Structure 1
């Protein structure tokens, strides 16, 4: 199963925060992209094993917005 993940930097803590859109229980944080990717994969594997990986939406795209 392939899932799309979003990784952002929390400006208050400096940590990277990863989540899987549409899966409220699938999120984690870490100091590197690789750590966040690994942790997110583990979280999603556990959710899948427990039958709790039930997406609420489907990731479509990201887009750039110009704000004046």
Structure 2
């Protein structure tokens, strides 16, 4: 049985796509394209779960909401 984790994807100032898994602290990677990022994310998740084993948390519930906040000086 496989478990699905939510991946948050952002694009940095250098044009790289950066992905992280909120349910798995420290599980993140980057790629030059979405396809490359998703491939690397699968590897990062598999490695994270391999190291943590049975201590891996269950996925968080995805709410499907995005809000942009402005930083005030």
- Provide TM-score, normalisation by structure 2: 0.71
| Alpha-carbon RMSD | 2.5
Number of residue-to-residue matches in the alignment: 66
- Name structure 2 gaps, 5 residues minimum: none
Q: Report which of the two has the higher share of helix.
A: 2
Conserved? CA contact 1:6–1:21, under 8 Å: yes
Greater Cα radius of gyration, structure 1 or 2: 2
- Provide TM-score, normalisation by structure 1: 0.75
Instruction: Please identify runs of 4+ aligned residues in structure 1 that moved more than 6 A.
Output: none
The alpha carbon displacement at 1:5 in A equals: 0.6
